[in-house]
A and B are shown apart, each in its own frame.
Chain A
């Protein structure tokens, strides 16, 4: 069965600092992995997705994530945090043979000016 675990429900970084949001997956087969962002009172927006084409995936707004099979991880990073990055971030995996998503519990990112 597929699942994801997000370490850290809250992460605070200073503006301009590195953003690192952690996600580990559990899957019996090669997974499809996604990172979504949710701003207050809005739906989810896709940041990036891993579909086995490349282990380093670049997404929107300067975010990227690296798929590491040996560590079963798919951590999200951004070199320099911006105030507008403050939001909740969700890691997700899609079910084998279907496109419904299993989400992690989310990480709320706070950016300190």
Chain B
């Protein structure tokens, strides 16, 4: 079974631009979560989608948004990029949304904002 895939793997943008990252979960998984990883703040939860609905949201500004499609694929969008948005963005999928469900992580998209 194929793992979680994220595209693109690397991205370079300039301040003020917007960016869209894509995540394809493991087949059959209905929950997709997004995390931001930076050296300073560590791993932080962005949001989670389940059956096309945002179920939970972390403490990030409204510039960060996401969506999930009927095939469970998910995208996240960051508008008006800032230097501090440079990070590794990780997507994780799980079979369901239960508290003990294992989350399977993709390799991440490394975003650099210049």
Q: Tell me the complex Cα distance, A3–B58, Å.
A: 14
Chain B residues in 8 Å Cβ range of A102? 45
Set A41, A51, A101, A104: member contacting B103, Cβ < 8 A? A101
Q: How many residues of A contact B (CB 8 A)?
A: 25
Task: Report whether over half of chain A's contact residues are helix, strand or loop; otherwise say mixed.
Answer: loop
Q: Are A98 and B102 in contact (CB under 8 A)?
A: no
User: How many Å lie between the Cα of A42 and that of B109 in the bound state?
Assistant: 10
Q: Is A77 an interface residue (CB 8 A)?
A: no
| A contact residues around B108 at 8 Å (CB) | 42-43
B77 to chain A, nearest CB (A): 19
Known: A43-B106, A106-B42. 20 other contacts (CB 8 A): A36-B105, A42-B107, A43-B90, A43-B107, A43-B108, A49-B100, A51-B100, A92-B43, A94-B99, A95-B56, A97-B99, A98-B48, A98-B97, A98-B99, A99-B98, A99-B100, A101-B103, A103-B35, A104-B42, A106-B43
Pairs across A and B, CB under 8 Å, 8 listed:
A43-B92, A43-B105, A46-B102, A90-B43, A99-B98, A99-B101, A103-B35, A103-B44
